[in-house]
Amino acid sequence: MIEYLKKNLINIPGKNLKAKYLVLESDDWGSIRIPNIKTRNSFLDQGLIKNNDPFSMYDTLETATDLDKLFDVLSQFKDINNNTPIVTANTVVANPDFQKIKESNYKHYFFEPFTKTYLAKRDSENALKVFTKGIDEKYFYPQFHCREHLNLPMWMQRIQNNNSAFIRAFQHNCFSIDFENHFNKRSNLMASYDYNSEADLEIIKQSIHEGLVLFESIFGFKSKSSIAPCYVWDKKIEEILQENEVKFLQGSRFQNLPIEGGTSFKKIFHFNGQKNDLGQYYFQRNGLFEPSLNHDVDWVDKCMESISIAFRWNKPAIIGTHRINFCGGLEETNRDRNLILLQELLKQIIKKWPDIQFLHSASLHESY
């Protein structure tokens, strides 16, 4: 009952829209996580990751097959305007270039575009071709997630200090292991925009600028929006995004605001269509479809409830769903089960709201 009340409360503020808009926002495309099953099992044995973390168990670089299977499900449905559902693919445009970093004796950081990362992984060599096809056929609409889904200053400090756990992970071309200490407010180093000094902030600002330039060079257009990894950002991050022409900020229910010297984040609530003093809009996810995170939850029913509440308050339904739900490189059965659930969700949406309109995040922004 409390969660039901919360779902209603977050939908009350903001501009009312007459149309029933549905937006699917999906994070982490292009990012490496766990390279393969052999590495995953080795990390589990060494205690570098835990088997109760779904991202460690299932999340890995997408393949051409993953994308084809997702697009096949989306192609089966049409809205009132004859449009298929379109996924806002929040893309991590680069990954560490482990070989070059090693050749520098860990003194310097180098990155490679995610398009190059595709070429180095079996079953992902043709992923860019399918990704591009998805854009052309309007199943996918990329937006900027970050350059790397990694806190570079914290990671490089630990690599340069010869941290044994991170060096072992590095040898497998991986950084996404568990890590907890008083300098880090999370259980890993995936929060790209957390920082502890002005020097760290400058590294992060450079990564955002270079990442957005790289995004445009890959896709041929600027990213109008961005979503901060792990929902961690502050005013200074908004400023660098605004300087690089990012018009609005995707988000979850709360922003995780870093506090200098603090051991946790301050939670800040935003509502859909809210503006900051830089003229950027906030758009908040008011529903989730995350079946990989808990197989005991009825995610179709849970998501349908969230959509119903959003529409009751004349708000767009913005559904968050991570790549983990649709990549099968570590567990094909997890991907295939989730695609069946997605198919059922879309079937129920079309049946209950025949006047539904499928939008991507940038086109939703145009309605405000």
pLDDT tens, residue by residue, 202-250: 999 999 999 999 999 999 999 999 999 999 999 999 999 999 999 999 9
Q: Residues 333, 63: contact at Cβ < 8 Å?
A: no
The pLDDT value recorded for residue 205 is 98
The pLDDT value recorded for residue 367 is 84
Q: Residues 95, 114: contact at Cβ < 8 Å?
A: yes
Please give the Cα distance from 214 to 147 (Å, whole number): 8
Residue 41's pLDDT band (boundaries 50, 70, 90)? very high
The pLDDT value recorded for residue 181 is 67
Q: Domain ranges for the chain, please list them.
A: 2-365
DSSP H helices in 110-268: 114-120, 127-136, 152-160, 164-170, 198-219, 235-243
The pLDDT value recorded for residue 171 is 97
Window from 51-60, 253-262, 321-330 with minimum mean pLDDT: 253-262
Please give the Cα distance from 171 to 78 (Å, whole number): 46
Please give the Cα distance from 218 to 127 (Å, whole number): 14
Residue 121's pLDDT band (boundaries 50, 70, 90)? confident
The pLDDT value recorded for residue 261 is 67
Considering the chain, what is the average pLDDT of its residues?
96
Q: Is the pLDDT of residue 183 over 70?
A: no
> CA torsion, points 289, 292, 297, 298, in degrees to nearest 10?
50
The pLDDT value recorded for residue 2 is 84
Distance of CA 245 to the CA centre of its chain: 20
Q: Residues 176, 190: contact at Cβ < 8 Å?
A: yes
The pLDDT value recorded for residue 180 is 75
Residue 186's pLDDT band (boundaries 50, 70, 90)? confident
Q: Mean pLDDT, to the nearest integer, of 338-360?
A: 98
Burial of 333 (0-12, 13-18, 19+ CB in 10 A): exposed
Q: What's the CATH superfamily of 2-365?
A: Glycoside hydrolase/deacetylase (3.20.20.370)
* Residues in the chain, overall count: 368
Residue 131's pLDDT band (boundaries 50, 70, 90)? very high
Window from 16-25, 74-83, 119-128 with minimum mean pLDDT: 119-128
The pLDDT value recorded for residue 355 is 98
